[in-house]
Amino acid sequence: MLTEFDQSTIANMTAALDYVCKKIPAEHDSNELRKQIADELIRCARTGRRTVIDFQQAGIKVVEEMTKPPRRRWFGWWRK
């Protein structure tokens, strides 16, 4: 699967994955979350965004989405 990317892209993905995984709160860290991050980095690379910053932003977005508190409905209004 990763043979479609050059060495520079793979190095950027690896560095970004390491960076993002260090940002995962301990209570949310899991193999599933790390796999979702890696999958997002691959999607990012396939769209042509291949810098370390691109990968870091994509990975952090996954972490933020997966660790944010659930929203609850309160009398017809959304609460965080």
pLDDT in tens, 34-68: 999 999 999 999 999 999 999 999 999 999 999 88
pLDDT at 71 over 90: no
pLDDT on residue 68: 85
How many angstroms separate the CA atoms of 50 and 39, rounded?
14
| Cβ-defined contacts of 43-49 (< 8 Å, 24+) | 45/5, 45/9, 45/13, 46/4
Share of the chain above pLDDT 90, in %: 76
Q: Which pTM does this prediction carry? A: 0.81
Domain count, the chain: 1
Look-up: residue for tokens 């965004």?
49
Domain range spanning residue 43?
A: 2-79
pLDDT at 79 over 60: no
How many angstroms separate the CA atoms of 69 and 52, rounded?
28
